C-alpha cells in the first residue's frame, strides 16, 4: 500500500523522504505521517527495492532500483489485491498509466462490482432497520448509498473512455518486448 505509493512516486525520479510525504499528501490519498514514511523507506531499502544516497545526516535521496520497478509492477497489477479498500484502489488508479488497458478495465470492473454489492447490502440494511435506527444514522446510510452510486457512475465513465481508446482489447501495445 504505502510501499506501492512510494515506489510509484520514485519511478518518476529520485526524491527525499520529506518531499515524498508531501507529494503523497498533495495527491490527497490519505494524510500519511512520517512515522509511516521513514520506516517504509528503511524496509524498501532492506528489500533492495530502493537505494539511498547521501549518508547519515540531512537530505537523503532515494531512488528505485531495477528490482524495485519489477516489484512495483507486480504488486500494481496483482489482480487478487484489494479493490475493496478505497484508499488502495485510489492509489492504484493514480498509477494506471503503468498498466495495460485490459488490466485497467479489469480493476475498474472489479471495483464497480464491489461497490454494487455494497450498495445492495446498505439498501437491505436500510429497509430492515429503518425504524430501529435514528434519523442521523439513517441519513448517514442514505448519503453513503448516494456517494457510492456517484462512484459507480464515475467508474462507468472511466470504463467507457478506456474502451473507446482501445476498442479491441490490447492492440494498443503492439511492440511489447
Partner DNA sequence: CAACCGCTATATCGAACCGATATAACGAAC
Partner DNA sequence: GTTCGTTATATCGGTTCGATATAGCGGTTG
Q: What's the maximum distance between 2 C-alpha atoms anywhere in the chain?
A: 63
- The single residue among 96, 100, 106, 114 that binds its own copies, judged by CB under 8 A, is 96
Indicate which of DNA, its own copies, none lies near residue 154 (CB less than 5 to 8 Å, by partner kind).
its own copies
Main-chain phi, psi angles of 64, to 5 degrees: -75, 140
Closer residue to its own copies, CB minimum distance, 61 or 151:
151
Measured from the CB atom, the residue of 87 and 139 that comes closer to DNA is 87
3-state secondary structure of 175: coil
Among the listed residues 144, 152, 159, 166, the single contact to its own copies using CB under 8 A: 144
- Spatial separation of the C-alpha atoms in residues 150 and 85, rounded to whole Å: 17
Interface with DNA in residues 110-129 (CB under 7 A):
none
> Of 65, 80, 102, 92, which is closest to residue 176 (Cα–Cα)?
102
Least distance to DNA, CB of residue 1, Å: 4
**Closer of 90 and 166 to DNA (Cβ):** 90
Cell of 147: 456517494
Number of residues that bind DNA (CB under 7 A): 26
18 in contact with DNA (CB under 7 A): yes
Binding segment for its own copies (CB under 8 A), chosen from 33-41, 57-65, 117-125, 168-176, is: 117-125
What is the spatial distance between Cα 29 and Cα 86, in angstroms, rounded to a whole number?
10
- Give yes or no for residue 23 binding DNA (CB under 7 A): no
Distance CA 62, CA 19 (A): 11
> CA-CA distance, 138 to 143, in Å (whole number)?
8
Binding site for DNA (CB under 7 A): 1-3, 16-19, 30-36, 38-43, 56, 58-60, 82, 85
Amino acid at each position: 500500500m504505502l510501499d506501492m505509493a512510494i515506489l510509484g512516486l520514485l519511478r518518476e525520479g529520485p526524491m527525499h523522504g520529506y518531499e515524498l510525504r508531501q507529494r503523497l499528501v498533495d495527491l490527497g490519498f490519505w494524510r500519511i505521517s512520517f512515522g509511516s514514511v521513514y520506516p517504509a523507506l528503511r524496509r524498501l531499502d532492506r528489500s533492495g527495492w530502493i537505494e539511498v544516497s547521501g549518508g547519515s545526516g540531512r537530505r537523503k535521496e532515494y531512488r528505485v532500483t531495477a528490482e524495485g520497478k519489477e516489484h512495483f509492477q507486480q504488486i500494481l497489477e496483482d489482480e487478487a489485491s484489494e479493490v475493496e479498500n478505497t484508499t488502495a484502489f485510489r492509489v492504484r488508479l493514480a498509477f494506471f498509466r503503468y498498466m495495460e488497458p485490459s488490466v485497467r478495465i479489469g480493476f475498474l470492473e472489479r471495483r464497480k462490482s464491489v461497490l454494487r454489492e455494497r450498495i445492495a447490502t446498505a439498501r437491505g440494511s436500510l429497509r430492515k432497520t429503518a425504524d430501529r435506527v435514528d434519523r442521523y444514522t439513517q441519513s448517514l446510510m442514505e448519503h453513503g448509498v448516494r456517494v457510492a452510486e456517484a462512484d459507480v457512475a464515475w467508474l462507468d465513465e472511466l470504463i467507457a473512455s478506456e474502451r473507446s481508446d482501445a476498442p479491441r482489447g490490447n492492440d494498443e501495445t503492439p511492440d511489447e518486448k
